[in-house]
Amino acid sequence: MNTHIDLRPVAVEQRTEGTGPRVLLLHGLAATDTVWERALPELPQDYQLWTARLPWRTETIAEWSEQPNLRGGLAKALEAVPGGAEVVVAHSMAANVLLDLLDQKMRGGVDALRQFGIRALVLVSPFYRGRADQFDWDTISYYLNDFHLIMEEGIRAHSGGRVPDDVRQAMGERVRDRVGPYGWLRFFDLYLRTPTMETGRITVPTLVLGGEHDFAARPKEGVALAEALPDGLSHILPGSGHFPMLDAAGAFATAVSGFVNSTLGPAPQRGTALPNALELQR
């Protein structure tokens, strides 16, 4: 059994030898690349699939919040894929760091999409509000005082609900404490800045995937983000929470592959809805 822990800030790993589109999967806060393990076998094996281990992953969670530039770590992951990641699939906070990276580079006059070779995006359970007045004190209270519940949701999804409630609660609080106040501030600062993003500059086709029962990144926020993007499409996966790649791996993979195939093949019609992912599974 390999017990080695990779402590490099950023690392990528090729998961399939396909000759199709290069797809890079990015995990969220306090997770790791194991979050994709159920979905990987369901995705087309002719894709060249890559996963990243990012600074805010489980093993290095105590140190990531001290890093001044989260965008730099994510950029290194994008650059580490030979030939560039044509499709980037980013979950939760990674989706926000990715949007922040693209937004800041484009404000500086850099065509970030071209620089990284990105042809399509899949944003999974992103945090987004389009107006500053949509944040109030109740919002801060919810995400601060109930932050451990998001950590618990990850434990529930990974374990398939097999961890007893009291153990899951204790584990969630432990992960929250490892993230710490500075880590929470880094997350919430990304969230607070979403109203100022110049989403009109992100012109590649983008699928925003949400879970019907996501209490962390509400489905309506994903819909609003898709509407704010020039070529955005939203899709809500029934029965899923904040981790649809774990809750409904088959439906998640069907939605992603359907979008990628239609996007990198014949140009899809803007606004065309994806078929119901659960129906496609049957």
CATH code (residue 231): 3.40.50.1820
* 118 within domain boundaries: yes
Task: Report if residue 68 sits inside a domain.
Answer: yes
User: Do the domain assignments include residue 191?
Assistant: no
19, 13 Cβ separation under 8 angstroms: no
Asked if the structure places residue 15 within a domain, the reply is yes
Q: Is residue 177 part of a domain?
A: no
Please report whether residue 63 resides in a domain.
yes
Is there a domain that residue 276 lies in? yes
Give me the number of domains the chain comprises: 1
Instruction: Give me the pLDDT at residue 8, please.
Output: 76
Structure tokens, 123: 């944003």
Instruction: Decide if pLDDT at 65 tops 70.
Output: no
Percent of the chain with pLDDT over 90: 81
User: Does the pLDDT value for residue 248 go beyond 50?
Assistant: yes
Encoded tokens for 194? 């979403």
Q: Is 190 part of a structural domain of the chain?
A: no
**pLDDT averaged over every residue in the chain:** 89
**Residue 117's Cα: distance from chain center in Å?**
18
Structural domain range at position 87: 11-129+196-281
Query: Of residues 61 and 206, which shows the higher confidence score?
Result: 206
pLDDT value for 58: 79
Query: Residue 96's pLDDT is what?
Result: 98
Q: Which residue has the higher pLDDT, 104 or 267?
A: 104
Q: What is the pTM of this model?
A: 0.90
Q: Which SS3 state, helix, strand or coil, does residue 72 take?
A: helix
Q: Distance between CA 17 and CA 33 in Å, rounded?
A: 18
Q: Interhelix angle for 165-192 vs 137-145, to 10°? A: 140
